[in-house]
Amino acid sequence: MIHANQYELTIYVPTLGIDIFNGDPYAGRQISSHANSATCFKLIAHWIRECIAEHKHCKRVVCPYSWTDDFESWARSPSYVSSSGSEVSGSSPAVGSLSTENLHSIGPPAVPEVDFDTSDSDTSGRPTKRARTSPPSPTTQPEDPGNVSARFGQSPTTKQSNQQRLKEAAAKQLAKTSSLEKRSPLSKGVLCSTEHAPKRGKDGSIDDGCYQLYPRSEQLRDMQISSWRYSSVNMPAESAPLLPTRYIHVDSNPPQLCLADSDSRGYYIALSHCWGKSRPLVTTTATLADHMKGIPVKNMPQTFRDALVIARELGLEYLWIDSLCILQDSREDWEKESARMGSVYGNAFLTISAGASDDSEQGIFRPRPVRPGPPVEVRCNDSDFEPIYIDYRANNTPFEEPQSTDSRAWCFQEMALSPRVIVYGREMLGWLCDSTTDVEHGSVAEHEEDPSPPLLAPRLNSKPAENPLQNAGSLFELFHYSHERERQVGRWASMVNAFSRRKLTRESDRLPALSGIVKELQLQTGDEYLAGLWRQDIWHDLQWDVDILFADKDAEWRRPVTYRAPSWSWASIEGPIYMDLHPSELEKAHGDVSPPADDVRLLDAKIYTVGHNPYGELRGGYLKLSTRLWKAVLRPRQNSQYTNPKYWLQPEKKWRDKRRVDRSFEVQTPDGMRMGMCTIDMPDERDWDATDLWWAKLDVHSSGLLITKADGEDAFVRVGTASASGEKPNDSPQFPETEIVEIILI
Amino acid sequence: MLCTICDNITLKSLNLSLGYEHMPSFHALKISADDGLCSLCCILWRAVDAQHAQEEMKRLDEGDDEEEDDMFMDYPVRLVADGMIYENRARGLKKLRDSHYDRADKSGGSGVDAHALYRLRTEKAPAMLLVCSLQPDTFQPGLRLKTRGSASLYREPRKSKIRL
């Protein structure tokens, strides 16, 4: 029998040698976890080495934000209106007019040229710690409304010149940051070719928790007993990415909060973690000066200390932690930095996801539950004495078992945008990059068929499948899309579906928490972002539904307390949303994902933001549509399996069916002619018998929105979606003739 | 250490449609596991127990609070390898592709069991060992296999490309 005490190792780890750090994170730490064992760091180094050396796709997406990191260089939506009221652009150009060239150089003309003079850096390659002399100011200058090229791009000459200068500056910077002469011994980590070993054990022996590690392979066991000579990792040949505005210099004593120059570059680690109920150590305007002198390690919560250990072990000297690198009491700074968060995580060399920690006091290296015994070797008589192995099958990898970070909305884009993520799961380490996933025991266990959207963030830049078999089974590439447009739509839909399930502390953060992904997507597609929807796919995206099919039993839906988004946006509802992942076959035949009918047009679209982040909080917005309207009334569903008492006897269906019965109605004309079915967003919001409703046509199938007049305004609000259907499956209902009208949806 | 019954497992019997006849009942499997003398019985019972606990929790979660009888404990235990690559990986792939099925849910799908394909494609991916019983089905005549738990099954120790 297996006894827990056989596997419980408690190691007292003193600080050996010269105590070069005050309050060293290793000092006096009772380690009862093996996630911080040297073998795990070797495994991480192995994953990093594989990624850098062999993953061509990952190389392609290194440093995707080099040209658009400045706050004022957001790709402006034609409909974006800043809170100051100055309109960035007037008319809405056809989306098709945005050429591919423009997409690479998106940005307003007021973008200041980056000065690549690196003379301010000191000889160690470490950027000098001084604040930006001229912080970027939000750009709200009006532009010529008709000049698309002026709005979206720099001139080709300027672009080439900048690229040349960027390359030169990057080469200089890389040469400097590669130098390790000035760095402390502890910072020579596993990514460097060095004899350095993590200090472990009083007698110098190194404990790896051999018996607690998953038996990835014989080679991993060899790794545990091998000498501490690491293979060096050649950092990517591409230029090091820009450092975030503030970062923590790990090699300082104590670690210091530093301000980056606008051209400071380097490889850094970002931390993705749950704050929890207790507020962790934060930087405010009052503590900024102190933190720039040094942040005592003893004041840091355990998760931050463990992140320092990882950074030091891996040999990376810069660390980014949101609570320390963003001023938490400055609304302006928070807005500015949260808008940049996408580029912070996108540019990070590595992101640490503290998946097993519910709050920052728990630490990254959590004690693991005792694992079952090793696999059993069975020597079958009929297999030429080749053994088979039978092992307890547990869905305990970080990608199968829900982690604390999986339910937090802010962690969504942190996982989706980071080029490489190490997940410290409850039972094992997980690796995630744009090309592959891997786990500590070396085998991604079978993943159950689950039609519900994944809680994990789909990778934004994941390697596209070349054939149906290539990415089949990857946890982040759920379906194979044969058409690029189809893939884009499916990718966004799966993101909305997963993101809307995640929880937020502040309701108003729903759109800002997605802004990093939106920014990247807009750079890739050049499309216009409209409060959670894309203009190019507006007919598809408008048909989102409250997710009554796949949401958990405990899921609830409600309107946010304060205004968050127009009624036609999914962000106007707090709760799980379902956006269709697949366009129909008919739509694919048209070459577009959701071709609008001839009589349906989007005339205008505007959103009004609260601050300067065009993808952030909203204070209003509207769509101006030209479409056909039919007066409609709601009737209870007839002859449906959901209203059949026999069906209700099945207990496992009860709660799910109640949702459907509450929200699903038959739609008829006032004359009693059946038009189709509808799903109401918030059934308790109105008295539906006393509400005037209209069916607004959206696509060739006459699917549409159910709308009603807004209170006190000459505009409409969305109350649900409607789909045309006859009484029998193949019947198509006949709609009465109506004229095309222009409506405004708010 | 293995018990005599586990020691007599053959690859051929695991790949039979009704699998390897392991124990006369789940009670017997539990007793063998509790004795702790056979490490495979321990793993198999743990798989059965975990699966049963999971099903119970799901049932309670969905509002069915009636106690379920433990009738399954009286049924014989069979071991069936599911998706195992029996010395012919290409044949396994072909078989899987030929047996496309459509996912009829709203989210659609590629029509291929993606995860089964993944298992077949990757060297390190294991097959599944189903711990089953043969149960009378109330609604259909005859007997059918009922899964009670599953464990991982693989031919070689997991390999990785770790370089030292």
Interface contact A441-B158, CB threshold 8 A: yes
Interface contact A445-B151, CB threshold 8 A: no
- Domain check: are A492 and A610 in the same one? yes
Tokens describing residue A664: 């699903």
Range from A214-218, A282-286, B17-21 carrying the lowest mean pLDDT:
A214-218
Instruction: Using the predicted structure, report yes or no on whether residue A357 has a pLDDT greater than 60.
Output: yes
Question: Binning pLDDT at 50, 70 and 90, where does residue A589 land?
Answer: low
Q: To the nearest whole percent, how much of chain A has pLDDT over 90?
A: 15
Q: Residue with structure tokens 């007839």?
A: A638
Q: Convert the pLDDT of each residue in A680-736 to its tens digit.
A: 998 888 888 888 899 998 877 778 899 999 887 789 999 999 988 766 656 677 788
Instruction: For residue A390, give the nearest of B61, B125, B151 by CB distance.
Output: B151
Range from A227-236, A464-473, B36-45 carrying the lowest mean pLDDT:
A464-473
Interface contact A443-B63, CB threshold 8 A: no
Range from A407-416, A435-444, A468-477, A653-662 carrying the lowest mean pLDDT:
A468-477
Whether A1 has its CB under 8 Å from any CB of chain B: the answer is: yes
- Domain check: are A534 and A432 in the same one? no
The whole-number average pLDDT for the span A655-678 is 82
CA A412 to chain centroid, in Å, comes to 4
- Domain check: are A316 and A434 in the same one? yes
The answer as to whether A132 is a domain residue is no
Q: Convert the pLDDT of each residue in B35-68 to its tens digit.
A: 888 989 998 998 888 888 888 887 777 666 666 6
Tokens describing residue A673: 């002619």
| Domain boundaries, position A514 | 484-745
Whether A480 has its CB under 8 Å from any CB of chain B: the answer is: yes
- Domain check: are A363 and A495 in the same one? no
Question: Binning pLDDT at 50, 70 and 90, where does residue A15 land?
Answer: very low
Other beta carbons less than 10 A from residue B66's beta carbon: 8
Which pLDDT score is estimated for A566? 94
B46-50 contacts at long range (C-beta below 8 A, 24 or more positions apart): B46/A372, B46/A392, B47/A392, B47/A393, B47/B131, B47/B149, B47/B150, B47/B151, B48/B131, B48/B148, B48/B149, B49/B149, B50/A394, B50/B149
**CB B42, CB B36: distance < 8 Å:** yes
Among chain B residues, CA nearest to A650:
B64
Which pLDDT score is estimated for A441? 65
The answer as to whether A671 is a domain residue is yes
The answer as to whether A592 is a domain residue is yes
The answer as to whether B104 is a domain residue is no
Range from A249-258, A295-304, A725-734 carrying the lowest mean pLDDT:
A725-734
Tell me which of A28 and A417 has the higher pLDDT: A417
- Domain check: are A421 and A510 in the same one? no
The answer as to whether A297 is a domain residue is yes
Q: What's the domain count of chain B?
A: 1
Which pLDDT score is estimated for A443? 54
Interface contact A446-B40, CB threshold 8 A: no
Whether A401 has its CB under 8 Å from any CB of chain B: the answer is: no
Which pLDDT score is estimated for A223? 47
Which pLDDT score is estimated for A458? 63
Which pLDDT score is estimated for A160? 54
Nearest one of A535, A533, A489 to A514, comparing CA atoms: A533
Which pLDDT score is estimated for A733? 73
- Domain check: are A545 and A645 in the same one? yes
Instruction: Using the predicted structure, report yes or no on whether residue A465 has a pLDDT greater than 70.
Output: no
Q: Convert the pLDDT of each residue in A505-554 to its tens digit.
A: 888 889 999 988 888 888 878 889 999 999 888 888 898 999 887 777 77
Instruction: Using the predicted structure, report yes or no on whether residue B156 has a pLDDT greater than 60.
Output: no
Which pLDDT score is estimated for A140? 31
- Domain check: are A424 and A503 in the same one? no
Question: Binning pLDDT at 50, 70 and 90, where does residue A395 land?
Answer: low
Range A295-331 burial, b when 16+ CB lie within 10 A, else e: bebeebbbbbbbbbbbbbbbbbbbbbbbbbbbbbeee
Instruction: Using the predicted structure, report yes or no on whether residue A658 has a pLDDT greater than 80.
Output: no
Instruction: Using the predicted structure, report yes or no on whether residue A299 has a pLDDT greater than 90.
Output: no
Range from A59-68, A242-251, A270-279, A563-572 carrying the lowest mean pLDDT:
A59-68
- Domain check: are A415 and A516 in the same one? no
The overall average pLDDT reported for chain A is 68
- Domain check: are A426 and A560 in the same one? no
The answer as to whether A84 is a domain residue is no
Which pLDDT score is estimated for B97? 57
E strand spans, A393-491: 420-424, 429-433, 437-439
The answer as to whether B163 is a domain residue is no
Cα–Cα dist A505/A512, whole Å: 13
Instruction: Using the predicted structure, report yes or no on whether residue A440 has a pLDDT greater than 80.
Output: no
The whole-number average pLDDT for the span A238-253 is 84
Q: Residue with structure tokens 């464990």?
A: B151
The answer as to whether A90 is a domain residue is no
Instruction: Using the predicted structure, report yes or no on whether residue A637 has a pLDDT greater than 80.
Output: no
Which pLDDT score is estimated for B146? 74
Whether A473 has its CB under 8 Å from any CB of chain B: the answer is: yes
Tell me which of A274 and A111 has the higher pLDDT: A274
Biggest CA pair distance of chain A: 89
From the CA of B26, how many Å to the nearest CA of chain A? Answer: 17
For residue B118, list chain A residues with Cβ-Cβ distance below 8 A.
444, 447, 472-474
| Domain boundaries, position B59 | 4-88+125-153
The 3-state secondary structure of A276-309, one letter per residue: CCCCCCCECCCCHHHHHHCCCHHHCCHHHHHHHH
Kindly indicate whether the ipTM for this predicted assembly is greater than 0.85, answering yes or no: no
Instruction: For residue A378, give the nearest of B40, B59, B108 by CB distance.
Output: B40
Instruction: Using the predicted structure, report yes or no on whether residue A135 has a pLDDT greater than 50.
Output: no
Q: Convert the pLDDT of each residue in A576-585 to its tens digit.
A: 998 887 665 4
Q: What's the domain count of chain A?
A: 2
Which pLDDT score is estimated for A717? 93
